[in-house]
Structure 1
Amino acid sequence: MSGVVKPLISRSPGQVFWFFVQIATDGTLLPALYSTVEATVVAFVLASFVGVVIGIGLGLFPKVEELLDPYISAFNAMPRIAFAPVFILLFGVSQAAKIALAFSVVVFILMVNARAGIRTVDRDIRLMVTVMNISKRDMFMKILLPSAVPSIFAGLRLGIIYSLLGVVTSEILASRVGLGQLIAGYAGTFQLEGVYAVCIVLAVIASLLNAGMALLERYLLGARAL
């Protein structure tokens, strides 16, 4: 049994490397790479903005949060991949469908983290600030928002990876171009060396995105400390 299965699923590092060289030089890889990275970044930026704004709003207004929390929790609990056919019907097999699926995944991560960050401010500090007659604007800009920044950045680092995951998942399901589409195509024709090569590319992209967010976090938090 092992002699039958092993050749079907295993490929040597040399086979994977030369397949990577082939797709990198014949014009297959770059368009797919660009499409995936573009959709990932767009979805991440949009979801980050919307998620952080809503999360901060929920943290600032507990009554609104109490009203909306059951609906937010219910929607967040749903597997977002189930919405992929809906997004494809709405936007077609396009970049917009990929962005929509990734957005639906990432926005809740940022929403939850931003809300949690606002909540980290101790109630006694809030009361003290209120007694000191500090304006609401100053309280938000100088106390609440700085306190929420570490939690928001934790969400951003997680969100950029999940944005990539959402885009690739959408591409595997239905896409004309993208790294996920390459994986689906190579898997369908049993070109496992191609699947492994693209997966390695995705691992490198994820590592670079995570490292980039870590550097940005270190820079901004360091500047804030100064």
Structure 2
Amino acid sequence: MSTTATLPAKPARPATTTLRDNLWRAAVLTAIVLAWAALSAATDLVASPAASMTALAELFTNGTIYRHLNSTLQAVAIGFLIAAAIGFPLGYTIGRSKFLGAVFDPIIAGAFAMPRVIFFPILLQIFGVGEGAQAAMAALAAVFPIMVSTTAGVRAINPLLPKLARSLSLTPLQTITKIYIPAMAPSLMVGIRIGFSIAFINVIIAEFFAARAGLGLLTLRAYGRLDLPTMYGIIVLLATIALIGNLALWALERKLAKTT
């Protein structure tokens, strides 16, 4: 007898529907580029798409961007992993306990509403200027949405599932991996996607304030030189990274939804 909580498989999306959605996405992106081109033609304050892409390609060609790209991605990855390692256990524990929920829910809600950037000077004192402070900033920003979504996912679990685990004599670890995690998957993935986005945003913000390397710092330097093509090119790169990351997590979420 299978010990994994399963739901009826969702019907596959028709190929024509998927094609239609992709065409609409392409149309939206095309419209954005056309609007950008029209705006750049109307004012010198906006670099054209062609000039921006040329400047970005030059950064890759001469190797200038790699150190900054690596710094940003490493800070996001480390900070996000730390946030997940802290947020999942805490969210699970709070979600399982009515007492802890009553104590910590208002505290977490209040902390979630605070702009995390106000803590960056403290992080600079602790970690110094560099990737450590950026990663800590990402972790501090991402831990709350992961924790909140995990807590909500635990509380939304069907009360019959824990009884099923006890009837099957599952260990606590088996209960979590075979019962709770599959049932919590949709809520968990929402928290992961939001956590990734917030971690990415806060790393860039931190790089604007104090950093030795990073795409945020590179963007700020380009703005200081009024090198608008380079600035817009890096902004496009940042948007592309964020889009790819969210699409990958969205695809993982849909895959889990089909198997749980």
1:65-104 aligned at under 5 Å gives the runs 65-104=101-140
Question: Which deviates more, 144-153 or 132-141?
Answer: 132-141
Q: Which of 55, 59, 62 is the matching residue for 2:91? A: 55
8 A Cα contact 2:80 2:142, kept in partner = yes
Tell me the TM-score normalised to structure 1 length. Answer: 0.87
Tell me the TM-score normalised to structure 2 length. Answer: 0.76
Alpha-carbon shift at residue 77 of structure 1 (Å)? 1.6
1:14-33 aligned at under 5 Å gives the runs 14-33=50-69
Distance 1:140 1:17, change over 3 A: closer
Distance 1:26 1:105, change over 3 A: same
Question: Which deviates more, 77-86 or 212-221?
Answer: 212-221
8 A Cα contact 1:129 1:139, kept in partner = no
Partner of 2:205: 169
Partner of 2:179: 143
Distance 1:90 1:127, change over 3 A: closer
Alpha-carbon shift at residue 94 of structure 1 (Å)? 1.0
Alpha-carbon shift at residue 130 of structure 1 (Å)? 9.0
Aligned residues: percent identity? 29
Alpha-carbon shift at residue 173 of structure 1 (Å)? 1.0
RMSD of Structure 2 on Structure 1 (CA): 2.3
1:116 and 2:119 are equivalent in the alignment: no
8 A Cα contact 1:116 1:151, kept in partner = yes
> Per the alignment, in what secondary structure is the counterpart of residue 212 of structure 2?
coil
| Stretches (4+) displaced over 6 A | none
Partner of 2:248: 212
Distance 1:68 1:193, change over 3 A: same
Distance 1:118 1:14, change over 3 A: same
> Per the alignment, in what secondary structure is the counterpart of residue 117 of structure 1?
helix
8 A Cα contact 2:185 2:256, kept in partner = no
Q: Measure the CA separation in 2 of the matches of 1:131 and 1:147.
A: 16
1:159-198 aligned at under 5 Å gives the runs 159-198=195-234
Between Structure 1 and Structure 2, the one with more helix by share is: 1
Alpha-carbon shift at residue 12 of structure 1 (Å)? 1.9
Partner of 2:33: none
Alpha-carbon shift at residue 218 of structure 1 (Å)? 3.8
Question: Which deviates more, 164-173 or 13-22?
Answer: 13-22
Distance 1:93 1:206, change over 3 A: same
- The one-letter amino acid paired with 1:195 is M
Cα offsets for 1:142-190 (capped at 9, x unmatched):
4333211210011112211211111111111111100000111111221
Q: Measure the CA separation in 1 of the matches of 2:211 and 2:153.
A: 37
Alpha-carbon shift at residue 69 of structure 1 (Å)? 2.4
> Per the alignment, in what secondary structure is the counterpart of residue 10 of structure 1?
coil
Cα offsets for 1:43-70 (capped at 9, x unmatched):
1111112111110111111101211223
8 A Cα contact 2:189 2:253, kept in partner = yes
Alpha-carbon shift at residue 207 of structure 1 (Å)? 1.5
Unaligned 5+ runs, structure 2: 1-41
